[in-house]
Amino acid sequence: MSVQVDPDFASDDRARAQIGAAVSYLLRDATGAAREHAVEMIIEMVRDVASRPADLEAASLQPLMSGVTYRDFVIDAYRRDVDRWRATIRRSNGKKIRIASPPSVRDEATTTADAITAEKAIEFAKRAIDMGEVL
């Protein structure tokens, strides 16, 4: 998945309108804990962008991988720290997930190892699904 960044907006109002549309899109079907998680991810994205030096921002953007569908799961990558990415896994139908070790039932699961990129975090999540660690 590739994200294209267009920093040339016609106006501040146009940029705000696009941000509002993007937030609405990300929250469109989310309810309960999934909605809270989506809001937290949006807030983290804003903080991440705000903390970057302005001159490095365009050069250092790494695509955010969110809403990746794999089998009947949705995977979202998020950055914990510089070069430390994890992914959350949830069912696309909103049902709970069974985790193999330690045995538990939850709304979502999080990968346990840090990855150096969002893409690798997504790969880790897919591998966990394939190996039956998340059911």
State both tokens at 65.
Answer: 């991988």
State both tokens at 119.
Answer: 């893409």
Q: How confident is the model at residue 122 (pLDDT cuts 50, 70, 90)?
A: very high
User: In the chain, what are the domain boundaries?
Assistant: 8-61, 63-135
- Asked if pLDDT for residue 60 goes beyond 50, the answer is no
More confident residue, 95 or 8: 95
pLDDT number for residue 70: 93
- DSSP 3-state of 107: coil
Q: How confident is the model at residue 95 (pLDDT cuts 50, 70, 90)?
A: very high
pLDDT number for residue 87: 92
The rounded mean pLDDT for the chain is 81
Percentage of the chain beyond pLDDT 90 is: 27
- Asked if pLDDT for residue 7 goes beyond 70, the answer is no
Rounded to an integer, what distance in angstroms lies between the CA atom of residue 20 and that of residue 43? 13
pLDDT tens digits, one per residue of 96-113: 999 888 888 999 999 988
Average pLDDT of span 48-58: 63
Percentage of the chain beyond pLDDT 70 is: 82
- Asked if pLDDT for residue 55 goes beyond 70, the answer is no
Q: Is 47 left (phi over 0), alpha (psi -120 to 50) or beta?
A: alpha
CA-nearest of 130, 122, 124 to 112 is 124
Rounded to an integer, what distance in angstroms lies between the CA atom of residue 34 and that of residue 54? 32
State both tokens at 88.
Answer: 């959350």
- CA distance to 10, 42, 88, 92, 112, per residue, from 126 (Å): 39, 23, 11, 14, 13
State both tokens at 1.
Answer: 């998945």
pLDDT number for residue 4: 42
